Structure 1
């Protein structure tokens, strides 16, 4: 088992380097960087002839005058020490921006994943039991219709009809806290945050129901047709025990790996959701940083998102190896 874990760790390192290097390369080669924008603005304020001089000063200040390999190596060395530099927009340490935004995004995404699993797995099991019946087709049609709806469109509809528009006023228009948040006690603060998170969580979760429930249905149907399930039924075990003790337990193995694959999609979707609902998380920070060409924050968000995704995949592999002895045997061989 330890060799299997070591192998997975060794895969993480070059993958992380590759992701961050490609991101750094794309940012450096992209037109219209931060120094060009700032030099243009200051050049207009001072004099047109000074614009080039300001541009060169800004490039030297942020290390953009160095070759790409050298610049990336310096960035990677600092990142290993958790030194992401300072924001070019406001001069704050990037790590302070991340410390404010990351817990919000993690809470939003973890809550979304939990809700997706709680709803999708029972739906998948029920669909496998009712295979090819009217109930199965209604569930499939409904979930695929939800899956086809764009998240930004659903978010705007929720804001229009449920958040202080011309219709219902059930939820806040945006943000994470109410104006009177400081006056609330601890329980009321928790309820206030949950109240603000309901619509963003709905927007993040509805699309995942179809994918996970259909996957659960497929794995359950595959397990139900195995010989040991037929044997369990022949021994006279109740259908409930056959399904939930034998079939469902064995179908959980593939579902473990999906937890890691859902995280990148949710992190990507949170950029749109957080921007629409004005939630000060990693998604909104990434969106604002891209608009302002704030390279240190963009690189920090990319590296942290890549690291979290790789760690999620690593943990899924470990759980898979623990649940399936065949993986441990192959790793040992």
Structure 2
């Protein structure tokens, strides 16, 4: 067990290094440089561009630029091309903004998708099953940004309250209780809108997996033994149907990086995905590379966690 964990961990460290090298090479080989973001700026003189390139080692070979990037990243001295601010505190601030949105959306998805999918599988062919299937495919087909704009217009027109941003303008001096309630209100709408597609997709997976499990012989045997339906469904069938979702659980970690960039832009939410998109537009290499590195690390950590959870959930699996 421990030999497998150590070997798997070392393999992922090597893979992370390879991914970082490839990402660094692709970003720097792409057309355009930070000094070319606004060539029409009259204040940008050739000597200023030269100083920028020297300050950020853009004249050095790629392998030296990679070394400087990794050195500055792990020493905390990496700075943004755009505003010369430290990269890690900047990313951490946006991460803290994205975290509540991610947690709320994830809780909504996993709380609603499983009962919906299980109920549809148990009552296969019923009006509920057909209705939930229709709604799920409709939510998958309709773009999320379109529904978000409709929701914003409806909420503002019906209730006359703001839903854009993380807080209402002018609430800075209000009582802490009202500030907290205002923050929760601004969190509700984007969380629901970003969770709709996830509910539709995950509920279909749950329904499909439950239909496959409840037709197995051990489920029929449990019913033949006289067990009540809830015990058969939730104790015997659901436990075995959960195995494929262990993999999905592992991929929740990389969703922290840019999982809701579209909704962050629509609702003017200053999150991490929005920061990455703005960095791409401004060719801010340190921000782009650092976010990519963190996303790769979270992806590898998520898959590693999934492998470990498989052995915990299913005793038949042995990590040899």
Using the alignment, how far apart are the partners of 2:36 and 2:286 within structure 1?
Answer: 16
TM-score by length of 2: 0.91
Q: Which runs of 5+ in 1 are unaligned?
A: none
**Residue of structure 1 in register with 2:233 after alignment:** 243
Gap change, CA 1:29 and 1:253, over 3 Å in 2:
same
1:317 aligns with 2:307: yes
Cα distance per residue 1:140-172 (max 9 Å; x no partner): 111111011212222222222323xxx324552
1:265 deviation in Å? Answer: 5.3
270, 284, 288: which one aligns with 1:280: 270
**Residue of structure 2 in register with 1:31 after alignment:** 31
Gap change, CA 1:156 and 1:252, over 3 Å in 2:
same
Gap change, CA 1:65 and 1:14, over 3 Å in 2:
same
Please tell me whether the aligned partners of residues 84 and 297 of structure 1 are also in contact (alpha carbons under 8 angstroms): no
Gap change, CA 1:260 and 1:172, over 3 Å in 2:
farther
CA RMSD of aligned residues (A): 2.2
Using the alignment, how far apart are the partners of 1:171 and 1:260 within structure 2?
Answer: 37
**Residue of structure 2 in register with 1:111 after alignment:** 104
TM-score by length of 1: 0.88
Please tell me whether the aligned partners of residues 252 and 302 of structure 2 are also in contact (alpha carbons under 8 angstroms): no
Gap change, CA 1:173 and 1:107, over 3 Å in 2:
closer
1:75 aligns with 2:69: yes
Cα distance per residue 1:205-250 (max 9 Å; x no partner): 0011122111111221222122221211111111111111111122
Using the alignment, how far apart are the partners of 1:21 and 1:84 within structure 2?
Answer: 20
* 2:301 match: secondary structure: helix
* 1:32 match: secondary structure: coil
1:266 deviation in Å? Answer: 6.6
**Residue of structure 1 in register with 2:219 after alignment:** 229
* 2:227 match: secondary structure: coil
Using the alignment, how far apart are the partners of 1:309 and 1:25 within structure 2?
Answer: 20
Q: Which has the higher helix share?
A: 1
Please tell me whether the aligned partners of residues 109 and 263 of structure 1 are also in contact (alpha carbons under 8 angstroms): no
48, 58, 69: which one aligns with 1:54: 48
What pairs with 1:240-319 in structure 2 (closer than 5 Å)?
A: 240-264=230-254, 267-319=257-309
1:41 deviation in Å? Answer: 4.9
Using the alignment, how far apart are the partners of 1:142 and 1:252 within structure 2?
Answer: 23
Please tell me whether the aligned partners of residues 8 and 314 of structure 1 are also in contact (alpha carbons under 8 angstroms): yes
**Residue of structure 2 in register with 1:209 after alignment:** 199
Using the alignment, how far apart are the partners of 1:204 and 1:19 within structure 2?
Answer: 29
Gap change, CA 1:266 and 1:206, over 3 Å in 2:
farther
Q: Which runs of 5+ in 2 are unaligned?
A: none
**Residue of structure 2 in register with 1:131 after alignment:** 124
Cα distance per residue 1:281-322 (max 9 Å; x no partner): 102211222222211112222222222232222222221221
1:219 aligns with 2:209: yes
Using the alignment, how far apart are the partners of 2:309 and 2:18 within structure 1?
Answer: 25
Q: 183-192 or 124-133: which moved more? A: 183-192
Using the alignment, how far apart are the partners of 2:175 and 2:237 within structure 1?
Answer: 46
Cα distance per residue 1:264-289 (max 9 Å; x no partner): 45744421111221111102211222
* 2:136 match: secondary structure: helix
Gap change, CA 1:202 and 1:71, over 3 Å in 2:
same
1:136 deviation in Å? Answer: 1.1
Using the alignment, how far apart are the partners of 1:80 and 1:230 within structure 2?
Answer: 57
Using the alignment, how far apart are the partners of 1:326 and 1:187 within structure 2?
Answer: 51
Gap change, CA 1:233 and 1:141, over 3 Å in 2:
same
Using the alignment, how far apart are the partners of 1:11 and 1:185 within structure 2?
Answer: 52
Q: 175-184 or 100-109: which moved more? A: 175-184
